[in-house]
Structure 1
Amino acid sequence: MEKKESSKLNIAIIHPDLGIGGAERLIVDAAVELATRGHNVHVFTSHHEKSRCFEETVSGIFPVTVYGAFLPRHVFYCLHAVCAYLRCIFVALCVLFMHPTFDIILTDQVSVVVPLMKLKKSSKVVFYCHFPDLLLAQHTTVLRKIYRKPIDYIEEITTGMADLILVNSRFTASTFAKTFKHLHARGIRPSVLYPAVNVGGFDKRLRENVEYLEELKNLADREGVSHLVRFITSCTTTERNTLLSECLCVLYTPKDEHFGIVPLEAMAAHKPVIACNSGGPVETVKNGVTGFLCDPCPQEFSTAMANFIRDPQMSETMGGEARKHVTESFSTKIFSQHLNGYLIDVARRKRE
Structure 2
Amino acid sequence: MARVVFLHPDLGIGGAERLVVDAAVALKSKGCGVQIWTAHYDPTHCFSETLDPDLPVVSVCIPVLRLSRHRKKVLFYCHFPDQLLTQRKSTLKKLYRAPIDWLEERTTGMADMVLVNSHFTAGIFRDTFHSLSGVQTDVLYPSLNTHTFDQQSAEGRGLEGLFPEEASVLFLSLNRYERKKNLGLALQALAVLLCRLPAEQRAGVHLVVAGGYDERVTENVEHYTELKEMAAQLHLENCVTFLRSPSDSQKVALLRGSTAVLYTPSREHFGIVPVEAMYCCCPVIAVNSGGPLESIADGDTGFLCEPNAEAFSKAMERLMTEPHLHRDMGQAGKRRVQDKFSLQAFSDQLYGYIVRLSQ
The TM-score by the shorter chain falls in which range? 0.7 to 0.9
1:122 Cα deviation after fit: 3.8
Counterpart selection for 1:115 from 57, 63, 74: 63
Stretch deviating more after TM superposition (49-58 or 187-196):
49-58
Provide TM-score, normalisation by structure 1: 0.81
Given the alignment of the two structures, is residue 55 of structure 1 paired with residue 55 of structure 2, yes or no?
Answer: no
Q: Structure 1, residues 36-57: CA drift from partner, whole Å, max 9, x if none?
A: 1111112211222222222222
**Contact 1:126 1:166 (C-alpha < 8 Å) held by counterparts:** yes
Return the alpha-carbon distance in structure 1 between the equivalents of residues 306 and 219 of structure 2.
Answer: 26
Counterpart selection for 1:159 from 102, 108, 113: 108
**Contact 2:65 2:71 (C-alpha < 8 Å) held by counterparts:** no
Return the alpha-carbon distance in structure 1 between the equivalents of residues 256 and 34 of structure 2.
Answer: 35
Counterpart selection for 2:140 from 173, 193, 203: 193
- Within-5 A mapping of 1:246-257: 246-257=257-268
Amino acid at match of 2:228: K
Return the alpha-carbon distance in structure 1 between the equivalents of residues 326 and 108 of structure 2.
Answer: 43
Q: Structure 1, residues 119-150: CA drift from partner, whole Å, max 9, x if none?
A: 23442011111111111111100010011111
Return the alpha-carbon distance in structure 1 between the equivalents of residues 268 and 12 of structure 2.
Answer: 21
Provide TM-score, normalisation by structure 2: 0.79
Partner of 2:298: 287
- Give SS of 1:221's match: helix
Q: Structure 1, residues 275-319: CA drift from partner, whole Å, max 9, x if none?
A: 111100000000111111111122211111111111111101110
Partner of 1:106: none
**Contact 1:197 1:332 (C-alpha < 8 Å) held by counterparts:** yes
Gapped runs of 5+ residues in structure 1? 1-7, 68-87, 93-112
**Contact 1:273 1:291 (C-alpha < 8 Å) held by counterparts:** yes
Amino acid at match of 2:135: I
**Contact 1:196 1:335 (C-alpha < 8 Å) held by counterparts:** yes
Counterpart selection for 1:324 from 317, 332, 335: 335
**Contact 1:248 1:312 (C-alpha < 8 Å) held by counterparts:** no
Amino acid at match of 1:328: D
- Give SS of 1:271's match: coil
Q: Structure 1, residues 199-247: CA drift from partner, whole Å, max 9, x if none?
A: 8622221111111111111100111111211011110111112212221
Amino acid at match of 1:335: F
Given the alignment of the two structures, is residue 66 of structure 1 paired with residue 57 of structure 2, yes or no?
Answer: yes
**Contact 2:282 2:330 (C-alpha < 8 Å) held by counterparts:** yes
Given the alignment of the two structures, is residue 245 of structure 1 paired with residue 192 of structure 2, yes or no?
Answer: no
Given the alignment of the two structures, is residue 15 of structure 1 paired with residue 26 of structure 2, yes or no?
Answer: no
- Within-5 A mapping of 1:96-107: none
**Contact 2:262 2:284 (C-alpha < 8 Å) held by counterparts:** yes
Counterpart selection for 1:129 from 78, 90, 100: 78
Counterpart selection for 1:36 from 26, 29, 47: 29
Partner of 2:288: 277
- Give SS of 1:230's match: strand
1:347 Cα deviation after fit: 1.3
Amino acid at match of 2:54: P
- Give SS of 2:216's match: coil
Given the alignment of the two structures, is residue 174 of structure 1 paired with residue 123 of structure 2, yes or no?
Answer: yes
Given the alignment of the two structures, is residue 341 of structure 1 paired with residue 334 of structure 2, yes or no?
Answer: no
Partner of 2:195: none
1:254 Cα deviation after fit: 0.8
Amino acid at match of 1:238: S
Amino acid at match of 2:291: G
Gapped runs of 5+ residues in structure 2? 146-174, 177-211
Counterpart selection for 2:238 from 211, 222, 227: 227
**Contact 2:15 2:271 (C-alpha < 8 Å) held by counterparts:** no
1:58 Cα deviation after fit: 2.2
**Contact 1:12 1:41 (C-alpha < 8 Å) held by counterparts:** yes
Given the alignment of the two structures, is residue 25 of structure 1 paired with residue 36 of structure 2, yes or no?
Answer: no
Partner of 2:153: none
Return the alpha-carbon distance in structure 2 between the equivalents of residues 174 and 227 of structure 1.
Answer: 43
Counterpart selection for 1:268 from 267, 279, 297: 279
Return the alpha-carbon distance in structure 2 between the equivalents of residues 287 and 179 of structure 1.
Answer: 29
Return the alpha-carbon distance in structure 2 between the equivalents of residues 228 and 16 of structure 1.
Answer: 37
**Contact 2:22 2:144 (C-alpha < 8 Å) held by counterparts:** no
Return the alpha-carbon distance in structure 1 between the equivalents of residues 115 and 89 of structure 2.
Answer: 29
**Contact 1:114 1:161 (C-alpha < 8 Å) held by counterparts:** yes
- Give SS of 1:65's match: coil
